[in-house]
Structure 1
Amino acid sequence: MYDNLIPNLFKTEYSKIITVLCNYFSIRDIEIAEDIAAETFLLASETWGLKGIPPNPKAWLYTVAKNKTIDYIRKNNVYDKIISNKQSKSLDNYYEIEWSDEKIKDSQLKMIFILCNPINAIESQIILVLKILGGFGIEEIATTFLTTKENINKKIFRAKKRIKEAKIDLEHIDSKLITERLNSVLISIYLLFNEGYYSKTKDFEIQKSLCLEAMRLCILLIENKSTNEPETNALLSLMCFHSSRFEARQNELNEIILYENQNKNLWNKELIDKGNYYLIESAKGNQITKFHLEASIAYWHCTKLESSNKWENILTLYNKLLQIEYSPVAALNRTFALFKVKGAKEAIVEAEKLKLSDYLYFSLLGYLYSFDNKEKAIFNYKLALNIAKKENDRQVIKKYLTVLNSTKNEN
């Protein structure tokens, strides 16, 4: 129990300590809050191993964090008085640091809007969210983005600097700013989820952690009246539907299992039901967003019964999605839906028009051509193999090539 307790508490409580303390410090002093949180967990690892786990570990962490904060202010006041000749800070506010569930949720919600500031690039926003709100380590984040720890540290430093220069503290996050920035926050959460679901990393646990963190943040938004909007519910619905198929998407070798070949018995019914609930909630507004359409597409993908009606609905939804916001991925997925409705020949015509350079594009062309032109199918799969970087993706492509070459030789 002890071996996993502190790492698990770090994931859930580290960000709570930082965000609550940032209500008392300025956002410009966020490193102080991070240091206090880190020192609190260091003391926990040293003390609990010797004296045993306290009856209420969370309360112990909060008490230690508060005491360390007061110690810091006292020492800083002495320095200000003797060295800098500045006025000392009152300790009254720090004696009354509040750790109620309401205060923690409110602090975390405001911190989301601080970190998802458009002054930083989307990738930097996600990195800050993972580090400060998700309790992810630098190594985990570096693994996620297939880069070095040094590069991640540089991005965090620059992103924090811009946020400090913006001079927006948690107390400044009001309804007006929330309304203005909600869409940016939702996009950041959406992209965070995609980092996990379509992950570049081979680490399955990190992939799931990224998806779960995105869902946790979205639930935090839904639990607050000011951010419980139809598009927020649509995004959570989308993530629930996608996550329901998580266990069926990869085999024991971490190879991607295509939708057609997934074991539907592994789909998570509870998450599908939640996806349905939030999809219904999302319909209470007057606006249809990309999240509504993607959630509706995901709903149909979670329908086990195969029928032409299913794929006709998916195709229609992709047509609407591309009108709202074009993306190569959506166009590629639409081509597969077109294949299911109209057949390979018509889908190939549309696919060839896309002229993409991604390995998924050539893999789809390989699949479509495999029905009546083995030579072109092999040619496209080989192009996909040359482009694919992840070894598990390459293994899947090689399997298709092996099957095609064997059937070609038989003919």
Structure 2
Amino acid sequence: MNNPGSHTEILPHLFRQEHAKMTAVLCRHFGLKHVEIAEDIASDTFLKASEHWAIHGTPGNPIAWLYTVAKNKAKDYFKKLSVFETKVKNNPEKKNIHYEFEFEYNDQLIADSQLAMIFAVCNPANSSKSQICLALQILCGFSVEEIANAFLTKAETIKKRLQRARTNLRNDKFQIRSLSEAAIVSRLSTVLKTLYLVFNEGYFSKTSDQHVRKELCSEAIRLGMVLTDNALTDTPQVNALLALMCYQSSRLEARAGDNGEIVLFDEQDREKWDKSLIQRGNWYLINATSGDEISAYHLEAGIAYWHTVTSDAKWQHILQLYNQLIVIDYTPIVALNRVFAFAKVYGRKKAVVEAEKLELTGNGHYHGLLGYLYSESDTKKAIAHYEQAIQLTRSKKERQVLAELISRCAAGYAQ
């Protein structure tokens, strides 16, 4: 045993790391219809750990202790359920039902269960927002309050969204006991999209006053790595997405100042970039080239890679990748980012023409880009676009950056 107080340090970490895995293992044996029971058993296990370890100290193998307790709690629950069905309710149809009390919880089973749970949670019947909420709660262990804070939404709204999503999850015929190739083919794109959205919400939050939410980024990467640990899901697309997330995450420390303010890319301290994450991104990107497929994740990973390079010649490569990306996966943000790269290659004056073709007048990023493009040639127009961007931007952090850019333009105009 360790000292009695050490549990206060290890238990929160274990909860975040093991609660979702434990829920997945329990659901593997008892089915998704019992997902709430599985979560309750997992939560009760950690509650017992907090009480027991406070008195007796942390066990030598805390993870094994937790899974043993969870297994015993599951066994007790289903014994009581069996007694209730056969004796109290006197339901003859239930008399021959025998629940599987004994099960193993080795590393391979936990990994397989968690992988299958990822595919179960990413149910195409749910909206993107619902999938993210469900993933954060079931796969990442976030509370309703944490999810509500992440989406800048009332807890009650999140509860209703989760209730609807959970109903679809329980009604789904998806089996997590084994993950078939057919299940992977049918849901992999939804799984990757969900992880992509979770990461983006962490990397560039649209719903929180926090510009960066590192815990969401790390959870998306962790779940992506679960996919690469299985031969069936270790695909080029998965590796491309992981490469993208590693490259982007390498700059997290540099993207915020001491007071949480946004630091623009050109002003970031490159010494704060995480070189090990860049190297890991390189490794995943190499793995992503094992097939003939070029997905949007491949192109975005390539763009993110070139952003780690210091040479100005990188912008030619970035523009070429955006030219490909905009064809296969057009979004307003992709179009705007392409124009920014165009400006780096051909100059801001020509880029203004490209930008105005988009006519995204109701988009704050569109006006922010035009403010940047006009800042060298027409300060009045630049300020007007920055002011329009402020009106269209919900993020407090982004409004602060835009206000600073207006101040810089005004100072230059005054001179």
Cα deviation code 1:90-134 (max 9, x no counterpart): 35x322x21111000000000111111111111111111111111
Q: Helix, strand or coil for the counterpart of 1:171?
A: coil
Q: Which residue of 2 aligns with 1:76?
A: 81
Q: Helix, strand or coil for the counterpart of 1:94?
A: coil
Q: Which residue of 1 aligns with 2:117?
A: 111
Q: Which residue of 1 aligns with 2:240?
A: 234
Q: Which residue of 1 aligns with 2:62?
A: 57
Q: Which residue of 2 aligns with 1:376?
A: 381
Which of 30, 36, 43 is residue 31 of structure 1 equivalent to?
36
Letter in 1 for 2:259: L
Instruction: Indicate whether 1:144 and 2:153 are aligned.
Output: no
Q: TM-score, normalised by structure 2?
A: 0.95
Letter in 1 for 2:95: Q
Instruction: Indicate whether 1:87 and 2:95 are aligned.
Output: yes
Structure 2: which 5+ residue stretches go unaligned?
1-5
Letter in 2 for 1:333: N
Q: How does 1:5-404 map to 2 (within 5 A)?
A: 5-84=10-89, 85=91, 86-87=94-95, 89-90=97-98, 93-95=100-102, 97-171=103-177, 173-200=179-206, 201-203=208-210, 207-303=213-309, 305-307=310-312, 309-356=313-360, 357-404=362-409
Cα root mean square deviation, aligned: 1.4
For 2:138 and 2:87, locate their aligned partners in 1 and report how far apart those are by CA, in whole Å: 33
Q: TM-score, normalised by structure 1?
A: 0.95
Alpha-carbon contact 1:112-1:185 (below 8 Å) kept: yes
For 1:390 and 1:191, locate their aligned partners in 2 and report how far apart those are by CA, in whole Å: 18
Q: Helix, strand or coil for the counterpart of 1:20?
A: helix
Larger CA deviation: 65-74 vs 163-172: 163-172
Alpha-carbon contact 2:236-2:287 (below 8 Å) kept: yes
For 1:399 and 1:162, locate their aligned partners in 2 and report how far apart those are by CA, in whole Å: 46
Alpha-carbon contact 1:240-1:275 (below 8 Å) kept: yes
Letter in 1 for 2:285: L
Alpha-carbon contact 1:221-1:227 (below 8 Å) kept: yes
Cα deviation code 1:14-33 (max 9, x no counterpart): 01111000111121111110
Cα deviation code 1:22-52 (max 9, x no counterpart): 1111211111101101111111122222222
Letter in 1 for 2:369: L
Alpha-carbon contact 1:253-1:392 (below 8 Å) kept: no
Residue 280 of structure 1 deviates from its aligned partner by 1.0
Alpha-carbon contact 2:29-2:177 (below 8 Å) kept: no
Alpha-carbon contact 1:142-1:148 (below 8 Å) kept: yes
For 2:224 and 2:209, locate their aligned partners in 1 and report how far apart those are by CA, in whole Å: 25
Alpha-carbon contact 1:77-1:88 (below 8 Å) kept: no
Letter in 2 for 1:46: E
Larger CA deviation: 331-340 vs 156-165: 156-165
For 1:195 and 1:39, locate their aligned partners in 2 and report how far apart those are by CA, in whole Å: 30
Alpha-carbon contact 1:296-1:317 (below 8 Å) kept: yes
Letter in 2 for 1:90: H
Residue 203 of structure 1 deviates from its aligned partner by 4.2
Alpha-carbon contact 2:130-2:161 (below 8 Å) kept: yes
Structure 1: which 5+ residue stretches go unaligned?
none
For 1:273 and 1:179, locate their aligned partners in 2 and report how far apart those are by CA, in whole Å: 29
For 1:407 and 1:396, locate their aligned partners in 2 and report how far apart those are by CA, in whole Å: 17
Letter in 2 for 1:369: Y
For 1:404 and 1:306, locate their aligned partners in 2 and report how far apart those are by CA, in whole Å: 27
Residue 89 of structure 1 deviates from its aligned partner by 4.2
Q: Helix, strand or coil for the counterpart of 1:256?
A: coil
For 1:203 and 1:13, locate their aligned partners in 2 and report how far apart those are by CA, in whole Å: 26
Alpha-carbon contact 1:128-1:156 (below 8 Å) kept: yes
How many residue pairs were aligned?
405
Residue 58 of structure 1 deviates from its aligned partner by 1.0
For 2:365 and 2:260, locate their aligned partners in 1 and report how far apart those are by CA, in whole Å: 17
Alpha-carbon contact 1:360-1:384 (below 8 Å) kept: yes
